[in-house]
Structure 1
Amino acid sequence: MTSQRPPYRADIVGSFLRPASVKDARQRAAAGTIDPIELQSVEDEAIRGLIDSEVEAGLQLATDGEFRRAWWHLDFWGGLNGVEVVELDHGIAFQGVETTPKGMRVTGPVSFPADHPFLAHAAFVLAEAARRSVTAKMTIPSPTVFDFRLDADQIRTDHYADRDAITDDLVQAYRDAIAAFYDAGVRYLQLDDTAWAYACSDVEMEKARARGIETDGIAERFATIIRRVLDGRPDDLVVTTHVCRGNFRSTWIASGGYEPVAEQMLGHTGYDGFFLEYDSDRAGGFEPLRFLPKGDQVVVLGLITSKSGELEDPAVIERRIAEAAEFAPLDQLALSPQCGFASTEEGNVLTEDEQWAKVGSVVEIAERVWPTAARP
């Protein structure tokens, strides 16, 4: 199965369960018993093995599994100028479990540094992917998540009067990041995003209002931020987004279909592709896909859950793809797991064998649904 341009018919969100070698090395590094160079060596070896497994599974892309990160988002933000990752008095509340109590704090002007560590991470994946003739994919958190999740009391600088005052610098930081990744050789970049899913949830919107966030017109605000970030990007750079309802140790946060945000998200952001969770009733129906403009943009249907090891019935997945095709052209659809397998280093509750069985199922189903996978 070949395709000229991502997202591919069989694709992945990006993160994978951390192997025991990486978990052990990160614990030893935190304890000070090995140095950063030794940790990096272990991570390098594990990522090479991961990319081999991705290729063996039949994927046309490779990620680093986010093996060098503790979090899907905080590690990137902590590398920005003017942002620190700090201990808080609370974590993020999921269904029945809470993350470790860490968050972000703005301490000065926000910008993207030329030596951000993710650029070195990208260089490693690019080199390893090139050796295997697959496309390197990099994942970073979306600026809309930063905009939505930043608490007003975590702005600890006179440089910004409030959350809104940060927006211009945040947009420029992301524009600079995209330019830097492109200059490093990245041609497939994904912005992971929980903010859109929160905006689909009445419960989460009520919590947001309690935090002092203006929720009227929030979808328009998010779309504007993304458009500003993506405006003028190179034509050969594919930028997608993954919309997540929460993914921590197989639990979740938000519920609600895409209807409240679909028109803005699909029609007014400028993304090349949208990885949308559709593995449970919490995501609602496929009707919001009617807002996908006719053309080259692709919705990657997250019909295979990453939250459990039970393998889905391929016939059911193929039937659901056909249902989605009633609202968006089949040629503008693709398939992936609903989320990564380890949005944080703790990982979801399934085994590595089960994880790869899921990926293999995605590839096999996609080969049947789209037997000629190339698209313009």
Structure 2
Amino acid sequence: MVQALGMQRVEDLYHDRTRRAQELRTQGRKVVGYFCCYPPVELLSALDLVPYRIQGDVDQQVQAGDEYLETMTCSFVRSCFDLALTGKYDFLDGLVVPHSCDTVQRIYDMWRGLCPPDLVHFLNVPHMVQPSSFDFFKQELLRLQSALEDLAGKKLEPETLRQAVDAHNENRALLRRLYELRKSDAPPIAGSEVLKVIVAGMGMPVAEHNALMRQIIAEVLSRPTCENVNRPRVMLCGSEIDNATFIRMLEEAGADVVVDDLCTGTRSFWANVPTTSDPLDGIAFRYLNDINCPRTYRSQSQPRAADLENRFSFLGRFAHDFRVDGVVLCIIRFCDTHELEAPDVIDYFSSKGIPTLHLEEEYRLANIGQIKTRLEAFLETIGGNL
């Protein structure tokens, strides 16, 4: 059996998320933070900047952030901004904020005014997918490229960008490989472990994360076969979940979390950047067209069944390919974009005969006892049909 050094490193980085980025900064590298799935990390990597995805802290009570943000604001964003105000993100040399939602956009304004790094850049991502949207978004990417070049102190070469695209596409392929392993009757790697692998990669260069994942895949393949083959297979959907505790609650209640549709899961890596003569064209297409987030408006069609299929067929493919028995839809309270779409998501799964549990919780997961009770009751319901 291969020694589990890769997973041990993942555990260390999961619990000390800024450590690797701060180490690299002390070595002279510049670190650029970014919100959400939409800033193209390929541009950062191509300029030798270290991408760091902004995260909150589920173990820290928001205090300073509540002086500027009302409590009916998304608790994930409040947590992130609280960390910025208390100096936890002082190691950043730059920050890229997309218009993923109005709350995140407001954070751009306040971060820029109260605790700015050298670069604070707003990336205007279109909310509609049509030909003019791609033209507009490419121009926005050129603006971002210029700002990052100024920060890095060098120009971006097309070949270097192609190499960065290849490296990040390899990263996506390795993550998809970890998900493929969970299609088996007894997945050799738990959903909570996969989330930790993803989170560990949010604060290190892509080449390091690729090497780490190759090591982890070898470790997982060497594990003895698991005998628990009759556990309910759950898809986890929702917004920002970077806390493995929630997934562990599902697993300890008797389920296997085999796939997800999360900002911190498949949404951020499932689609590759296509090969194009100008790499920016492929990047613009992938980030605007292939990220299935509620903040992006997809053209609607009638009747309603056709509209739901048009918007959520990718969820149906996940459910089929991973043989999903039930869906847990967990949304951070006051996340308007996800809450507005939740009834349609539930209706879509209902049309496929897949039961759904809808939870609305804070980023820090208050009321854990109540959550466990609801999860156990839901799993008992779907487990009785196996």
Is this a same-fold pair by TM over 0.5? no
More strand by share: 1
Q: TM-score range by the shorter chain?
A: 0.3 to 0.5
Q: What is the TM-score of this pair, normalised by structure 2? A: 0.31
| TM-score, length-scaled by structure 1 | 0.32
Structure showing the higher helix proportion among its residues:
2
